[in-house]
C-alpha cells in the first residue's frame, strides 16, 4: 500500500491563479480531510468528507473547494490564489469518521506571490 | 468557540528523564482525544487514542491520561531519548468527522 499520496510536493503560484492539490489513498478509507499548517497555528481543518459524494466545511474553508467523486481521491481546489493561502497542506484519511487513527500524506508546500 | 491549547513553549529535557506534555481544551466534551508526532518536513504520525471513559492509556514508553473534569490530557514519554525529539500534537473530535488539532509542543531531548 502506498498509503496517502499528495502531489505536487512544492508549488509556487501567482496571486489570482488557480490550481488543484491532489490527494489519493489506497486503503479504502471512507473519511478524508484537508488541513493547512502555518507556523504557530497548528493544523487547521479546511474541508472533510465522510464518504464518496459527501463533503463538509472545516474551520477555514473560504477560498477552497473540494469534491469526492470516488473513495480514493479527494482533490483540493484553489480558485483564485491569495498570499494568505501560502502554507503547507496536508491530506489525511481514516477508516471512517470517529475514533480511528488518521493517516497523513507527506504534504504540499504552496507559496503564493 | 472550541479551543485547544498545548504547552506554548518548547520543552527541553535531559535524556532518560520523563517528558510531560499538556493539552487543555474548553467549550467542548470530546468523546475521545488523539496524540500525534510530527517530524520536520513530514506529516503527523498517529501515536495514541484515548476515550472519555478511559483514564489512562499506555503504549511502550508512552502514557496518556484524560481528565474530562479538568478538560485536560497529559502525554508522558518515560526514559526519553534524543530520537523522541519532535513536535507532538493533540487532537479532539468535535463529532461528525470534524477533528481539530492543538498548535503542538516542540520537544527536544538532549543527550
Most distant CA pair in chain A, distance: 39
| Predicted confidence (pLDDT) per residue in B58-77, tens digit | 999 999 999 999 999 999 99
- Please give the Cα distance from A55 to B87 (Å, whole number): 30
- Whether the predicted pLDDT of B1 surpasses 70: no
Buried b (16+ CB within 10 A) or exposed e, A90-99: bbbbbeebbe
- Band (pLDDT 50/70/90 cuts) for residue B19 is very high
Q: What percent of chain A clears pLDDT 90, i.e. is strictly above it?
A: 92
pLDDT tens profile A52-92: 999 999 999 999 999 999 999 999 999 999 999 999 999 99
CA-based end-to-end distance of chain A: 36
Quick check: B30 pLDDT over 90? no
- A59, B15, B25, B44 from B94: Cα distances, Å: 11, 36, 12, 19
Q: Which residues of B touch A104 (CB under 8 A)?
A: 43-45
Average the pLDDT over A16-28 and give the result: 97
A102 touches chain B (CB under 8 A): yes
Indicate the residue of B41, B45, B103 with minimum beta-carbon distance to A42: B103
Contacts of B100 in chain A (CB under 8 A): 44-45, 59
Phi, psi values for residue B39, rounded to 5°? -95, 155
Amino acid at each position: 500500500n502506498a498509503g496517502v499520496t499528495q502531489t505536487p510536493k512544492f508549488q509556487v503560484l501567482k496571486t489570482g491563479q488557480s490550481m488543484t492539490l491532489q490527494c489519493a489513498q489506497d486503503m479504502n478509507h471512507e473519511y478524508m480531510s484537508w488541513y493547512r499548517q502555518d507556523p504557530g497555528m497548528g493544523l487547521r481543518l479546511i474541508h472533510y468528507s465522510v464518504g464518496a459524494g459527501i463533503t463538509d466545511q472545516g474551520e477555514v474553508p473560504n477560498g477552497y473547494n473540494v469534491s469526492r467523486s470516488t473513495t480514493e481521491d479527494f482533490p483540493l481546489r484553489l480558485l483564485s490564489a491569495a498570499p494568505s493561502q501560502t502554507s503547507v497542506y496536508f491530506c489525511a484519511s481514516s477508516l471512517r469518521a470517529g475514533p480511528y487513527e488518521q493517516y497523513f500524506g507527506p504534504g504540499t508546500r504552496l507559496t503564493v506571490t | 468557540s472550541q479551543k485547544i491549547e498545548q504547552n506554548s513553549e518548547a520543552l527541553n529535557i535531559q535524556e532518560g528523564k520523563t517528558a510531560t506534555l499538556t493539552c487543555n481544551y474548553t467549550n467542548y466534551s470530546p468523546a475521545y482525544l488523539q496524540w500525534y508526532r510530527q517530524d520536520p518536513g513530514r506529516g503527523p504520525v498517529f501515536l495514541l487514542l484515548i476515550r472519555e471513559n478511559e483514564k489512562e492509556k499506555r503504549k511502550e514508553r508512552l502514557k496518556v491520561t484524560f481528565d474530562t473534569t479538568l478538560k485536560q490530557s497529559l502525554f508522558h514519554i518515560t526514559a526519553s531519548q534524543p530520537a523522541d525529539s519532535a513536535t507532538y500534537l493533540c487532537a479532539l473530535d468535535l463529532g461528525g468527522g470534524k477533528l481539530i488539532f492543538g498548535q503542538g509542543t516542540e520537544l527536544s531531548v538532549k543527550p
